[in-house]
Amino acid sequence: METLVLPAPAKLNLFLHITGRRADGYHELQSVFQFLDLHDVLSFTRLSSTAIEFQCSDAQLDTPDNLVVRAAQLLQSYQRVAQGARIILDKRLPYGGGLGGGSSDAATTLLALNQLWELNLTIDQLAELGLQLGADVPVFVRCHAAFAEGVGERLYPVQPTSPWYLVVDPRVHISTAELFQHPELKRDCAPLARESWQQQTTQNVFEPLVRQLYPEVAKALDWLVEYAPTRLTGTGACLFGAFESQELARAALARMPAQWNGFVARGLNESPVCQQLRQASTDNLTNQD
């Protein structure tokens, strides 16, 4: 197996609560992650040298500091790998909008190179490595919708419903650091039992602040809620509405104001990355036979 082509799916935070703040300044969170059937695409080719060659379809992200490169180098260093890789990222997800695209790209890189380089690291080991790159990376490594606690690293598989979502990108850059430091951020949510959380009784605690600080996001939230239950994902700026059918979601998308971007996608409880890796592994074993 010399080349792998794999997806890196988007995610939504179906809710996002803060239950406290630790002595080290990090916030204690609770959230549920669910994947979307919209994704970036990454191609990995094994190299005999130790070089990590990287190309990205988006020139702004085509840098040595991209999380894809950092993930490859981290794995290489961790296992003292004497191989390299050529990695090509076809960037299709909006970045900086709370959809986890960069974290997903990094997770797919860890999973792909673990298989391509035949390292045989466990998912637990890869998730622990991923946490060094970002709090959202482990959920993409584990490939299952999850109830998250801590800084997002304690993950418990869940099975939320899988509606069709209309995701709206108001094309606004939001400073996550600013929001986390804001004095009006709600940090005292009562902890939820992960077995009994309900979408109707949760919220995204960042939404009131984002509404206040970013009027364009507030406009988008007010527009979409006319069509479906609507919520901010992560710290934004993207937001999503849940629909019973693809047709209803597409009908709302057709009426979306032209100044925003948007797309329709299905919620997924298993990431397509692990499905495709299992298939690639099976195909490889069959070819060897």
**Residues marked as catalytic:** 11, 136
- Cα separation, 208 vs 229, in Å, equals 16
Please report which residue ranges of 65-191 form alpha helices under DSSP H. 67-79, 101-116, 123-131, 137-142, 176-181
Query: Rounded distance, CA 240 to CA 229, Å?
Result: 8
DSSP 199-255: GGG--BTTHHHHHHH-HHHHHHHHHHTTTS-EEE-TTSS-EEEEESSHHHHHHHHHT
Residue 40's nearest CA partner among 113, 126, 114, 104 is: 104
**DSSP tag of 59:** G
Cα–Cα dist 42/22, whole Å? 36
Neighbours of 288 (CB within 10 A): 7
Q: What is the CA radius of gyration of the chain?
A: 19
Helix, strand, coil content of the chain in percent (nearest 5): 35, 30, 35
